[in-house]
Amino acid sequence: QSALTQPPSASGSPGQSVTISCTGTSSDVGGYNYVSWYQHHPGEAPKVLIYEVSKRPSGVPDRFSGSKSGNTASLTVSGLQAEDEADYYCNSYAGGRNFVFGTGTKVTVL
Amino acid sequence: EVQLVESGGGLVQPGGSLRLSCAASGFPFSRYWMTWVRQAPGKGLEWVANIKDDGREKSYVDSVKGRFTISRDSAKNSLYLQMNSLRAEDTAVYYCARDCGHGRLDPWGQGTLVTVSS
């Protein structure tokens, strides 16, 4: 149950795109299409952005998109806005009814 | 409105116990898996435990196995986390979340702070 690996930080100017990676193993990210992504503004409840690798819940802007290749999932935020500055976490099913989060990425809008 | 409200956090000494509650409203609680997630100060999110809609299946992260017990009461629309033998490293904000399927956690509560310290 080791945490999935994310870069500690990412940044971009307003309007630019930023992509966050989430690397696991064949026992979690690579083994299932059950990767979700969460946005967390400190002091608030985390919010789901993407589920099942690339599906977007209603109400989430299409600026947020997800994908997966092998053992690595990715979240892309296009058209960065000031309110996108937050912490982002991936989460994957890891078998046996267990799940595991990524280490988290702090996104800064320059 | 779908809502989750945690309670029961506080300051407890190492080795002590605490029971967290999560009151659910606005959805058919008995039809959903539920999950506890925690965030230690300055750290990332950590998946802690989950429980099947009927309460018959439960799973835990290795670090809390044998110490924490997740349970639910559908009559009260409530989720619980009984935490025993608490350690300093259990200090965290604990969130409950509804699992909408395959780990899609939505929504989350606002969290309750547990501090383990002498």
- Report the pLDDT value the prediction gives residue B87, as an integer from 0 to 100: 98
* A36, A96, A102: residue with CB nearest B104: A36
| pLDDT tens-place string over residues B71-111 | 999 999 999 999 999 999 999 999 999 999 888 999 999 99
Question: How big is chain B by its Cα radius of gyration, in Å?
Answer: 13
Q: Are B100 and A34 within 8 A, CB to CB?
A: no
Phi, psi (degrees; rounded to nearest 5) at A78: -100, 155
Query: Closest chain B residue to A32 measured between Cα atoms?
Result: B102
List of chain A residues whose C-beta atoms are within 8 Å of the C-beta of residue B62: 1
Write down the mean pLDDT value for chain B.
Answer: 97
Beta strand residue intervals within A13-98, DSSP E: 18-23, 35-40, 47-50, 64-69, 72-77, 86-93
Let me know: does B42 contact B51? Beta carbons within 8 Å. Answer: no
| pLDDT tens-place string over residues A54-89 | 999 999 999 999 999 999 999 999 999 999 999 999
